[in-house]
Each structure stands twice: as structure tokens, then as C-alpha cells.
Structure 1
Amino acid sequence: MQLLKYLKWVLGIAYFAQGDYPRAMNYQEQHLRLARQLQDRGGEGRALGNLGLVYYGLKKYRLSAEYHQQYLAIARELHDRAGEGQALSNLGDALLQSGNLLEAEQTLFIR
């Protein structure tokens, strides 16, 4: 099941890179389900972050921010500083694009 989870993650990234957001979303959602079944919090966080990127690509910035916020919570829970930085950067960008300038500033410079 670990291999299947990894393959879903890789396929999701590949489709995202090609701009095929519906397929990318499908594979990242499958990756998220498998990570949760396996109780893999790190994998769950990465899947949430990747879904946030997909929604960003679809210009659904508020939804993107919600996924990045979930990724941020998991990264902090796991003391994953690299994941926390990635989540904060992506969260701030999604908030900025959604027009929430103050919240984006607070995310990027105060947290």
C-alpha cells in the first residue's frame, strides 16, 4: 500500500506539471486517502499541500489557502521545519492572490 500511495503522489505531481489539474487533483486525493488509511501524517500533509497547489492553479485561492493551512498544522505537529516553511510560503501567496493582503502579510512576516 505504501508503493501505491507513492505512485499516486508521483502521478499527481506529473499531471500538475502538465497543467492537467483535474487528473492531478484525482491522484492527490487518492494519495491523501491512502496516507490517512496508513496513518502517515507526513504523507497526509504533503497531499494537502499538493491539493492546495492544484486549487491555486485553478485560481481557487481561498480553497488553496485552506489546504495549505491544514498542511501547515501537520508540519508544525511533526516539527517539519521545511514543510512549515513551504506551507507558510504557499499559504501567504494564496491569501495574497485571494485579496486578503493583511492576512497574507501576517502569514508571511509574523508567524
Structure 2
Amino acid sequence: MVKWENVDIEKDTDKESSKLPVRLKLGKHQTKTKKSRVVIGRRGDVFNRVKIYSKFTKPTDFIFTDNDTREPILRDRYYTNWRFLIKSIGFDKVRRDNSFYPLRHSYCTWRLQGG
């Protein structure tokens, strides 16, 4: 789980908002390989938008936090919502593997195609 102190968004006002670079600094306890790393992306605007709607934006607050309880939103809630969405659109009848994992490959493919 990532806290606001782990996020560094470039504040370049000349750039299109969807291209604001963002750096996520992940500690070794946050990665699968147990090695610290910095992840760089282009959608700093998304983090800025989350910050607008969140009640908890101090550096030590988690980014994805329940606005009522201040508790971090855990992975189980995402999976529960994902399964509900897949079932409600009938996609569970079309494909058996409806996990988040294929989305990772979709994202990588889109990034490669986009240059």
C-alpha cells in the first residue's frame, strides 16, 4: 500500500495534464522482489484528482483510503468489486480467467503500442 509520501508528481504547468510525470518510491516491503525501486509513469493528474476527493492527504496517509474510516482500502475490496463488475456485465460466462492479472498484460501492450 502506497502513502502520499511515496508519490512525487512533477509540477510542470506547460505539460498536458495527462502527461504529468509521477514517481512512486516503493520500499522493499512493498515489492514482490523485496527490493526498493522507483516506478515512473505519465499520469500524475490521476493522483492529483484522487487528492482532490480524498479526506486524507497528509504525507503519512495511504493514497487509497476509505473516507469514512480512514482505513486503507485493502486488496480484497478491489477483488470483490471486480468480480461484481465482471458478473454484472455477463463477462463471467464468456471467459473463466477474470482476474486482474490479464489487465497487467493489456496495460503493458498499450504502453508499447503508444511508444
Q: Relative contact order, CA 8 A, sep 6+: which one is greater? A: 2
Per residue, is there more strand in 1 or in 2? Answer: 2
Q: Which structure has more helix as a fraction of its residues?
A: 1
Question: What TM-score results when the alignment is normalised by the length of structure 1?
Answer: 0.29
* Superposition TM-score, scaled by structure 2 size: 0.28
- Of structures 1 and 2, the larger Rg is shown by 2
